[in-house]
Amino acid sequence: MHGEDGYMILKFICCDVFCRIACQLAATSPHIVDVEFLPMLVYVDPDALRKQLQEKIDSAINSGRVYDAIILGYGLCGNSVVGLTSDVPMVIMRAHDCCTVHMGSKESFLEAFGNSLSSAWSSTGSYERAYMQSGGYSLLEQEPNYKSTQEYISYLEQYGEEDADYIWDSLHPKIDSSETFYIKIDGFEYSNAYESYSALSKSNGKQCKAVYGDISMLKALVYGQWQDSRLLVIKPGQKIAGVYDMNEVMKAE
């Protein structure tokens, strides 16, 4: 896929939760990267997001610009990417959601959130693109992190999402967590998002705990380091399918 000069021309379709990071990576990548963002809050309707993503993929392919690959700044995201296909290779991160991407790996995610999967969290991108742009994004409107656990995924595979939610709630009565999390990423804390989110948490009777993430998963995607096990390459004509575990997460078929 590399051009004659060793670089590729990439179309980067990305959730704007990663806007600050994605713009820096596109600017410093050894490849030519055309970036297009979709609003973060589209994810609340996975079917609508899937439709928009496929339209953006098709539009890129039919634009007249010859892309070596399409890279997606998304994880599984409530099955939003399941079924996506392309006439050129696609690359996506093996993550259930943007929380894992912000943390840089599933291991870092589990280390930070393993005992607090029902807690709300934020980051500079999440706070700016959700709360600040929605007129009051609730701390409770996020996709719970427990939906990335093997236990929940096993219910999902057997019974579907509605019944899986019911089973989980029956076995794990909701406990009002006393803390929220904020993922700090060095070099990208330009705004007052952390201070604002901490104050918002406090006003809701919660203590905000800072944890530290990294951009290495996104960097591998944008820099063309696709041999990284955290990434999935989808060949032309294949589709993205969910696997719903903590390792593979998704596959090409």
Question: Tens of pLDDT along 56-81?
Answer: 999 999 999 999 999 999 999 888 99
- Compute the mean pLDDT over every residue in the chain, rounded to the nearest whole number: 86
Residue 173 has a pLDDT of: 53
As a whole number, mean pLDDT of residues 213-231 equals 97
Residues comprising the chain, all counted: 253
CB burial of residue 239 (10 Å; 0-12, 13-18, 19+): middle
**What pTM value is reported for the model?**
0.84
Q: How far is CA 1 from CA 35, 60, 70, 172, in A?
A: 19, 17, 11, 48
Question: Tens of pLDDT along 156-215?
Answer: 777 887 777 767 666 655 555 688 899 999 999 988 899 989 998 898 888 999 999 999
φ, ψ dihedrals at 32, nearest 5° = -85, 120
Helices (H) and strands (E) in the chain, counts: 10, 10
- Alpha helices for the chain (secondary structure H): 19-28, 46-61, 98-103, 106-113, 124-126, 132-134, 150-159, 161-171, 193-203, 216-222
Q: How many CB atoms lie within 10 A of CB 177?
A: 14
As a whole number, mean pLDDT of residues 20-37 equals 97
Question: Tens of pLDDT along 75-127?
Answer: 998 889 999 999 999 999 999 889 999 999 989 988 888 777 667 889 999 88
* Residue position matching structure tokens 């203590």: 207
What is the percent of the chain where pLDDT is above 70?
85
Identify the CA nearest to 139 among candidates 202, 82, 92, 190.
202
Q: Which residue type sits at 114? A: G
One-letter-per-residue 3-state SS of 140-191:
CCCCCHHHHCHHHHHHHHHHCHHHHHHHHHHHCCCCCCCEEEEEECCCCCCC
Give the 3-state secondary structure of residue 53.
Answer: helix
- Lowest average pLDDT, out of 1-5, 24-28, 153-157, goes to 1-5
Q: Is residue 223 scored above 70 in pLDDT?
A: yes
Q: Is residue 226 scored above 90 in pLDDT?
A: yes
Q: Is residue 137 scored above 50 in pLDDT?
A: no
Q: For residue 211, what is the enclosing H or E element?
A: strand 207-212
Q: Is 180 left (phi over 0), alpha (psi -120 to 50) or beta?
A: beta
Q: Is residue 144 scored above 60 in pLDDT?
A: no
What is the percent of the chain where pLDDT is above 90?
53
Residue 120 has a pLDDT of: 83
Could you say which DSSP state residue 60 is in? Answer: H
